[in-house]
């Protein structure tokens, strides 16, 4: 993601809304991408985008310019996602999601040909069954491809906790894939 | 066939759902304007004593009534307690002075309180006459 220049941040701190409009235009895709993966719901993801930027505007004075602005935005968005996920009841995947995967799992040729986007769709379905914290760590590491120090800053978890959450998340997904019929060489 | 670890390590970002960036930007900016126009909610005094929180939720007339009733009740209680102590001290003094049975002296005290027409000496005299 393109980083926001410091002079734009300073103008936002001075209350210039035109400068903040630039921030919104530049960063909203990134926030939407994270929110969509976390919430697995387009409307909820859009709500998260709005809430994130409103909070960012209200708290722009608290932003520490020693860190990346995108990390700060990710932090706000992640907390909003976690709060929403915690308040939601645990969801189970729709039966058709599993059927969709079984079709591929039963056919060795289709497993070989399965495209990345289909794998992403399957894994995202499985990720939505993890705990909110595991979901967040997995999304930041595997879908957003963030560095571990950035994940630490965003989640507020130390390296050991991130590692354990990620391990449990991967194991859970692995077990579910095998249970659904996927076989490893 | 791919190993699961390979799959998980190579999940590339996929295209997101249809998303109108300009419309979202306008929406966010208008919501920010709205938030700034709204007066902020009064802050709740979390550490306030319970009675104060109760008072915040009743009308001012009811609040004044509660304060008056509490003050009146407090005064009454204090006065009564003070009277009892005074009474007790007074009886104790009489017991010490006359070395008489407490019940009798208390009767004398009540008598004295009711009417100051008869002097204490007269009471003692009456007592001796009656016994």
pLDDT by residue (tens digit) across A170-179?
999 888 888 8
A29, pLDDT greater than 60:
yes
Contacts of A165 (CB under 8 A, 6+ apart): A133, A134, A137, A138, A157
- The pLDDT of residue B117 is 52
Measure Cα distances from A134 to A141, A165, B32 in Å: 11, 5, 32
What are the C-alpha distances in Å from A70 to residues A53, A85, B27?
12, 22, 21
Mean pLDDT within B2-24: 74
Q: Which residue has the higher pLDDT, B12 or A66?
A: A66
At A164, the pLDDT band (50, 70, 90 cuts) reads: very high
Give CA separation, B116 vs A28, A93, A142, B101, B103, in Å: 93, 94, 98, 22, 20
Inter-chain Cβ pairs, chain A and chain B, closer than 8 A: 84
50-109 in chain A: CB under 8 A from chain B: 50, 53-54, 57-58, 108
Q: Which residue of B has its CA nearest to A172?
A: B4
Chain B residues with beta carbon closer than 8 angstroms to that of A42: 17
The pLDDT of A6-34, averaged and rounded, is 92
Q: Which residues on A lie below 8 Å from B12 (Cβ)?
A: 116, 120
Put simply, the answer to whether A17 touches B11 (Cβ < 8 Å) is no
pLDDT, one tens digit per residue, over A56-112 is 999 999 998 888 899 999 999 999 999 988 887 655 555 555 565 556 555 555 554
Mean per-residue pLDDT for B23-39? 88
CB-based contacts of B58-67 (< 8 A; 24+ apart in sequence): none
Is residue A130 pLDDT above 80, yes or no?
Answer: yes
Name the residue with tokens 């095998």: A178
Asked if residue A56 lies in contact with residue A10, where contact means CB atoms within 8 angstroms, the answer is no
DSSP A101-116: HHHHHH-HHHHHH--H
At a CB cut-off of 8 Å and minimum separation 6, what does A152 contact? Answer: A158, A159, A162
Q: Looking at per-residue confidence, does A2 or B129 come out higher? A: B129
The pTM of the whole model exceeds 0.90: no
Average pLDDT, chain B: 65
Q: Which residues of B80-107 are buried (b: 16+ CB within 10 A; e: fewer)?
A: eeeeeeeeeeeeeebeeeeeeeeeebee
- Give the pLDDT confidence score for residue B90 in this predicted structure: 56
Query: Is the pLDDT reported for residue A144 higher than 80?
Result: yes
CA–CA min distance B47, chain A (Å): 25
User: In this complex, is the C-beta atom of A159 within 8 Å of any C-beta atom belonging to chain B?
Assistant: no
Q: pLDDT for A150-162, tens place per residue?
A: 999 999 999 999 9
Instruction: Find chain B residues with C-beta within 8 A of A46's C-beta.
Output: 19, 24
Taking a C-beta distance cutoff of 8 angstroms, is the pair A156, A78 a contact? Answer: no
């Amino acid at each position: 993601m393109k980083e926001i220049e410091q002079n734009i941040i300073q103008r936002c701190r001075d209350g210039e809304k035109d400068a903040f409009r630039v921030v919104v235009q530049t960063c909203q895709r990134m926030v939407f991408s994270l929110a969509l993966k976390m919430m697995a719901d387009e409307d909820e993801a859009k709500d998260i985008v709005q809430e994130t930027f409103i909070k960012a505007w209200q708290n722009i004075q608290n932003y520490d310019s020693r860190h990346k602005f995108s990390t700060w935005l990710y932090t706000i968005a992640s907390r909003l996602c976690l709060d929403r996920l915690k308040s939601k009841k645990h969801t189970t995947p729709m039966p058709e999601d599993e059927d969709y995967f079984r079709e591929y799992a039963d056919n060795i040729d289709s497993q070989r040909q399965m495209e990345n986007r289909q794998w992403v769709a399957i894994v995202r379905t499985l990720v939505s069954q993890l705990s909110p914290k595991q979901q967040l760590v997995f999304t930041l590491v595997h879908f957003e491809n963030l560095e571990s120090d950035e994940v630490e800053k965003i989640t507020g978890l130390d390296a050991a906790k991130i590692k354990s959450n990620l391990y449990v998340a991967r194991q859970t997904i692995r077990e579910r894939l095998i249970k659904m019929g996927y076989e490893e060489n | 066939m791919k190993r699961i670890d390979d799959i998980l390590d190579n999940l590339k970002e996929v295209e997101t759902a249809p998303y109108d960036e300009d419309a979202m930007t306008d929406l966010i900016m208008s919501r920010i304007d709205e938030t700034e126009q709204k007066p902020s909610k009064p802050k709740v005094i979390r550490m306030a004593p319970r009675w104060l929180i109760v008072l915040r939720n009743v009308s001012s007339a009811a609040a004044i009534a509660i304060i008056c009733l509490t003050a009146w009740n407090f005064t009454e209680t204090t006065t009564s307690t003070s009277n009892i102590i005074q009474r007790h001290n007074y009886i104790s003094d009489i017991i010490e002075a006359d070395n008489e049975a407490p019940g009798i002296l208390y009767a004398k005290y009540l008598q004295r309180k009711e009417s100051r027409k008869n002097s204490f000496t007269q009471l003692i005299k009456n007592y001796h006459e009656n016994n």
